[in-house]
Amino acid sequence: MTGLEFHRQLTLQPKSPSERAAIFANPGFGNFFTDHMVDICWSEAGGWHRPRIQPYGPIELDPAASVLHYGQEIFEGLKAYRHADGSIWAFRPDANARRLQSSALRMALPELPVEHFLDSLKALISVDAEWVSSEPETSLYLRPFMFAKEAFLGVRPAKKVAYYLIASPAGAYFTGGVAPVSIWLSESYSRAGKGGTGAAKTGGNYAASLVAQNEAYAHGCQQVLFLDSVEGKYLEELGGMNIVLVYKDGSLVTPLSDSILPGITRDSVLQLAEERGHKVTRRAVTIAEWRDGFESGEIVEAFACGTAAVITPIGQVKAKDFTIGSPDTAAGELTMSLREELTDIQYGRRDDSHGWMYRLDG
Ligand SMILES: *Cc1c(COP(=O)(O)O)cnc(C)c1O
């Protein structure tokens, strides 16, 4: 496949270096956006067409656009990292491209070719490279997404779809050191059901998680942990992060289920652990196994993982009738050393022996 030729319409009002510096001083997550965005149209008749770079701004959408009614939408999340020599890289973006395709299949959306996905990342960086900060542990969060834009209220897959890419500067996730989080065990709500959309990165899964997330906040927790929807006893994942348990013999276990989103961070971290000689198992794990294993000393660490925070140690799980751990449980040693190894690769501080990094600039 030949590379896409993006039509370029540059903004007449780019942020000034000082405005950008003010944003970089306190970017948080998902609050500010770069000067441009990329979009590619799709229609049943014409396939993928009209790739564009244009000024970042509101999208015009017909009120009948089916995404607004039936939620036919998918997205991705990955980061651009600035290395010490100034070059800009993404981490395994081909895996995000393929996952966008599998999400598309589940949500009856068209598959965007992997090359178009990668070209869109490079196109945005070609105009917004200055938005990739060189401050330690910062990045430019890239958010590709696709939605049904056909104006039609009948229920069927849309014949007109849009793919967009926007980007948002991200600060160091943990300011003042990596801190273990408390998570709330949701026993009233499921995130995804058997045969449902749990393995697709689609907005509806997030919409379904928010009421449980509110419950977590009400119990003083930052995140919510979901169980399987059939028996309500097997671990699934957090609202937007996968989960891994570490056993005292050094083995790692992560839940296996077809309603879990297959995280690229989890896949990478488990591969690094395997290469160090740790045994890694993907299998069904119950919440009872975690509770009993923690009490007996069999399970010694737990962490959540995803692109935004990379690896977050879990200090405590709070449930209606029991608690595992405590909020001041220290971050696990293996958890932290895997986090360091992965972020060293991402920021170019360590040799990329897996060929995971993909250059976005130049
Ligand atoms: C995106 C996401 C993850 C993490 O995936 P990464 O590829 O590691 O960022 C985990 N769970 C859910 C529900 C997600 O949407």
Structural domain boundaries in the chain:
7-170, 181-346
Say if ligand 1 is within 6 A of residue 93 CB. no
DSSP assignments along 1-44, one per residue: -PPP--EE---SSPPPHHHHHHHHHS-TTTS---SEEEEEEEET
For the chain, which residues score pLDDT lower than 70? 1-2, 175-176
Distance from residue 78's CA to the centre of ligand 1 (Å): 10
Please, which residues have CB within 8 angstroms of residue 62's CB and are 6 or more apart in sequence? 149, 151
How far is Cα 196 from Cα 82, in angstroms, rounded to an integer?
A: 38
pLDDT score of 251: 98
For 121, which DSSP code? H
Distance from residue 43's CA to the centre of ligand 1 (Å): 28
pLDDT score of 172: 83
Say if ligand 1 is within 6 A of residue 144 CB. no
pLDDT score of 66: 96
pLDDT score of 300: 97
pLDDT score of 1: 46
Q: Give the residue, by CA position, lying nearest to ligand 1 atom 1.
A: 240
Residue 310, beta-bridge partner list: 306
Distance from residue 199's CA to the centre of ligand 1 (Å): 10
For residue 327, the one-letter residue type is P
Distance from residue 60's CA to the centre of ligand 1 (Å): 29
How far is Cα 240 from Cα 260, in angstroms, rounded to an integer?
A: 10
Q: Same topology for domains 7-170 and 181-346, yes or no? A: no
CA distances from 14 to 11, 53, 132, 139, 216 (A): 6, 14, 15, 19, 39
Please, which residues have CB within 8 angstroms of residue 355's CB and are 6 or more apart in sequence? none
Say if ligand 1 is within 6 A of residue 38 CB. no
For residue 184, the one-letter residue type is W
Q: Note the CATH number of domain 7-170.
A: 3.30.470.10
How far is Cα 126 from Cα 210, in angstroms, rounded to an integer?
A: 36
Domain covering 181-346, topology: D-amino Acid Aminotransferase; Chain A, domain 2 (3.20.10)
pLDDT score of 329: 87
Say if ligand 1 is within 6 A of residue 306 CB. yes
Pairing outcome for strands 242-247 and 235-238: unpaired
How far is Cα 145 from Cα 39, in angstroms, rounded to an integer?
A: 9
How far is Cα 351 from Cα 344, in angstroms, rounded to an integer?
A: 8
pTM here is: 0.97
* Residue 201 alpha carbon, nearest atom of ligand 1: 15
Distance from residue 211's CA to the centre of ligand 1 (Å): 19
